Structure formats: structure tokens, C-alpha cells
Structure 1
Amino acid sequence: MGYALGVVIAVAVVLALVLVLGASRLRTLSRRVGSFQCGARPARPQAPWSAGIAQYGVGRIDWWRCWSLAPRPARTWHRDRLTVTGRAPLDQAGQVDQYLVRCRYDDVDFELTMSSGAYAGLASWLESAPPGRRGLVV
């Protein structure tokens, strides 16, 4: 009985440690300057959404999955290769002030969800690209 109890305690400690690390990572990512909540999915019908946090970098946006312990972003989109192809308000199911943003990166289409303020920041960031990069936002 002592061995089984030791295993249960070890599993509980590991699980608690993973939860604490995950919560700490999520808190750290969401408090960084230039970060915003942003869901992402491939632009396919019925594709699942992944909750995440995006952060502006120098000439790029890094996107981190919320429920992950990965030390690196799941996606990185460079400004000179990212294009917004459309947006639509999400007024369904009580999602007030949310937009569905359709994007293209290296000929791959995907969708993001974000607040109207985050979309305004994204559009401004894309439009402030160096000269010669026009037409990044629809």
C-alpha cells in the first residue's frame, strides 16, 4: 500500500507543477508589452480553433498557444509576408467586440480572432511597414 501511495503523491506533485508552470507561462506572455489575445486556425471549414497570445516583435508577430509549455512560439509571421485579406465582426454567442480576421502568409490562408482594438493595432502595424510594402490590409 505504501508504494501505491507514493506513486499517487508523485503524480499529484508532477501534475501540480505542470499546472503552476502553465499558469505562470500564460501570465508572463499576457503581460508582455505588445501582446494581445488571439485565436488561430487554418482557413478550412470545421478546423478547430487554438487559443493563443500574439506578441509584436521587430518585423514579426509571434503566436503562442495558451495551453502549452513550449518555450518557443507555435507560429511566427513576418510583416513583409503577412497580408490581411478580410475581416468580419463576430457578434454570435455573446462575442462582442471580436473580429474574425482572414490572413495569408506565404500563400497559406488562416484565420485569427481578436478584439477590435487588437485588430486596429494589427492593421496599423502592417500599414506602417517600410515603403514599397503597400496593400497589406484590406
Structure 2
Amino acid sequence: MEYLVWVAVAVLLVLLLAVVTGASRLRRLSRRVGSFPCSARADGIPHASWSVGIAHYSVGRIEWWRCWSLSPRPARTWYRDRLTVTGRAPLDLAGQPDQYLVRCRYDGVDFELTMSSGAYAGLASWLESAPPGRRDLVV
């Protein structure tokens, strides 16, 4: 019986460690300068689920992390010279005003992002500030 108690305590400690690590990672990512909340999903797949995440501007790229992950690496990386915004539309989400659905293409693969209007303005400005020769990044 005592053995089962120790196993239960060990399992609880591992779960607590995972929750604390995940919360610390999420806090660290969301507090970085250049970070913004951004959900992503594949385009063209009916009823595809959204993955909640945090995007961050880096030098020449955007890195995107899933919120509910312990991975130290971003789940996606989009380089500025290969990313194109193909459209945007306002979203009417209950409790979340001022959100946009942003359609993007990266290396011929279409996907969608949701973000605030301020985050979209930042994304459009970041893409438009690309080096000369790349003026077609925002439609």
C-alpha cells in the first residue's frame, strides 16, 4: 500500500513540474518584444482545428510556437522572402472583437492565421519593409 502512495506522489510531482514548465515557457514567450497571439490552421481543409500559439518577429522570419507544448523550438518558421499574405477578413468572434482572419501562402502551401488588427498592421508593415525587389508580399 505504501508503494502505491509513493507512485501517486511521484506522478503528481511530474504533472506539477510539467504544468509549471509549460506556464513558465508561455509567460516567457508572450513577454518577448515582438511577440503577439496568433492562431494557425491549414487552409482548404473543411473544419480544420485551430492551433493556439504565439508568433514572434526575428531577423528575416516569424517564429510560431504552440501554446500547449513543452518544445523549446518553434513549431513553424516563416521566412519573410517566402511568405505572402493573400487576403484578410474581419472576424466576428464573441468576446474577441477586433480580430482578423489572415490568409497566407508559404512555399506554395496555403494556411490561415487569426490575429488582432494591430498584429496584422505589424505583419503587413514587416512584410512591406522587405529588401528591394519584394513588393508583392501583401495583397
TM-score with structure 1 length normalisation?
Answer: 0.98
- Mapped partners of 1:68, 1:12: distance in 2: 19
Percent identity of the aligned residues?
Answer: 78
Residue type of the partner of 1:52? G
The answer for the alignment partner of 1:134 in structure 2 is 135
Partner in structure 1 of residue 116 of structure 2: 115
Q: Which ranges of 4 or more aligned residues in structure 1 deviate by more than 3 Å?
A: none
Residues 93 and 99, structure 2, Cα contact 8 Å, conserved in 1: no
**Deviation at residue 92 of structure 1 after TM alignment:** 3.2
Give the structure 2 partner of residue 124 of structure 1: 125
The residue type paired with residue 39 of structure 1 is S
| Letter in structure 2 aligned against 1:91 | D
In structure 2, list runs of 5 or more residues that go unmatched. Answer: none
Deviation at 1:45, TM superposition (A): 1.5
TM-fit CA distance, 1:134: 1.0
1:55 partner amino acid: H
Give the Å deviation of 1:94: 3.1
Equivalent AA in structure 1 for residue 61 of structure 2: R
Report the number of matched residues.
138
Shift of 1:95: 2.4
The answer for the alignment partner of 1:25 in structure 2 is 25
Map 1:5-16 to 2 at 5 A.
Answer: 5-16=5-16
Aligned to 2:46: 45
TM-aligned CA deviation for residue 135 of structure 1: 1.1
Where is the strand percentage greater, Structure 1 or Structure 2? Answer: 2
1:82 counterpart residue number: 83
User: What secondary structure sits across from 2:70 in the alignment?
Assistant: coil
Alignment gaps of 5+ in structure 1? none
- After superposition, residues 92-111 of structure 1 pair within 5 angstroms as 92-111=93-112
- Normalising by structure 2, what TM-score? 0.98
Distance in structure 1 (CA, Å) of the matches to 2:106 and 2:32: 24
